[in-house]
Amino acid sequence: MASLPEMIENFQEELICSICRDYLENPMSIECGHSFCHSCLLRCWQEASPSFSCPECRSIFQVRAFKANVGLGKLAAIAKKIRPHCLQYPGSHSKCETHQKVQKLFCEDDQSPICMSCSESNKHKAHTLHCIDEAAEDFRENLQETVTNLWRKTKDVEQQIANEKVKLALLEEEVKTQKEAIYSEFQKIQCFLDEEKNEYLSIVERQGKANVKGLKKRIRKLSLQNQELRKRIRESEEVCRKPDMDLLQVRDMKRVLKRNKSVIHKEVVMFHVNTVVYPIPGILEMLLKFKVDITLDRDTADPGVIISADLKSMRYGCAQAEVPNNTGRFSDFAQVLGTQSFISNRCYWAVEVPDNTGWCVGISNGSPMPEVFFVLMAIQSHSGGHLYAIGKQHLSSVPHVKYCQNCVSNLMVGIFLDYEKGEVSFYNVKERSLIFAFPTTSFSGPFQPFFCLSKKVWTNDCSLMICP
């Protein structure tokens, strides 16, 4: 059977609110049978929704329901009044191990309960002492204050959680909206590009048919001219084989000669193949994403090549400069390599080429006698310029040569290398159009930018410049 102090302690515990740990005030009972202070219960359930839980046993309720427990409130009020007397009950205090007396005092300095004899000792004589019930009450009030602050802090944290959840929902919605907008915009761009592509393909198709038709018409006319020429040849040869007297008796000899001469001087009108440059929307912006800084390597330059101080331009100076005889130096042509070397990734650079002399730009494997190269070459003459794409993949392979229908004058050449995909392309930067793209291949080893000028200079102003 429990002792009286234990019974008193158990009785008091039943009248304590498990939330604030003080005697119940205006107690409310909920469905599970537990009771709490009205204010404590409201505070706990303030943010709870749509379900509510018991702060003690955590039982879940769908409806917030509670009722006043008047009897329990009266008992709590009585217990609160008699609490000091209960605390003074001898059995409710522990005894001092030194003096075997009831510990009725509390030493604030040592934070421990003591008996009256301990309080008179030298150890505690100068210390601040309180009655047990006063010390407990002070501690309870301080604790209750911290509990109140904790509840306030809990409410703040829960409010922050609610705010962050709102932010999270808004952020997720914003991300979704942005993704949909981006998808929609790219769909529009794709539709635009498809329309542009189809339009250009249609133009190329029509232009191609017109060129084919024109060339076939010229071939037919030339064939008719050829037949007429052969006919006149046969007739004239037959006349020539006649004896002298018969030959001289041919009627209208002058007319025959005149007719032959008219056939000889008759020319079929030359048909010019029309080519159109088609700008590619967005191509320059795409290429500039992979732009790299390129400089010329003096140690590889032909002795006749003059390189600017910023290593960005070159021209041929005829006079041979005194330079170290490096193993990697060009000596037969006005050539030079770029300082940079590429073994991966994508890269792009542009070159301003001269109008008045031949030139060559692209990439090579870096040797004075390159085994692998992909270049665009312009061959200039007094009658005009011609553009060729030349590629050689292996030492033993036959170079790939392609004549490019492109204007050579006022040209800025863009060079694009995609090492991983094995692609090399040349672009007309000013026209935003493709000049030529080599068939996809596979690369091994490093590549360097390659530059060359013809030594046959037509004017004194003849330089090749890497664009900034």
Report how far apart, in Å, the C-alpha atoms of 189 and of each of 184, 278, 285, 326 are: 9, 18, 14, 52
CB 84 within 8 A of CB 76: no
Give the amino acid at 115.
C
The span from the CA of 64 to the CA of 177, in Å, is 38
In 3-state terms, what secondary structure has residue 379? strand
In whole angstroms, give the CA distance from residue 73 to residue 97. Answer: 39
Phi and psi angles of residue 44, each rounded to the nearest 5 degrees, phi first? -65, -40
What was the pLDDT predicted at 89? 45
Omega cis (within 30) before 5 = no
- The answer to whether 450 and 333 are in contact (CB under 8 A) is no
If we measure between CA atoms, which residue out of 179, 93, 434, 166 comes closest to residue 286? 434
Using 50 as the pLDDT threshold, list the residues of the chain that sit under it. 87-92, 458
Whether the predicted model's global pTM rises above the 0.85 cut:
no
Residue appearing with tokens 């080519």: 275
Q: 359-371 burial by CB neighbour count: b if 16+ within 10 A, else e?
A: bbbbbbbbebebe
- At 307 the three-state DSSP class reads strand
> What distance in Å separates the CA atoms of residue 266 and residue 64, rounded to the nearest whole number?
110
Q: What per-residue confidence (pLDDT) applies to 91?
A: 43
pLDDT score recorded for residue 90: 43
What per-residue confidence (pLDDT) applies to 276? 65
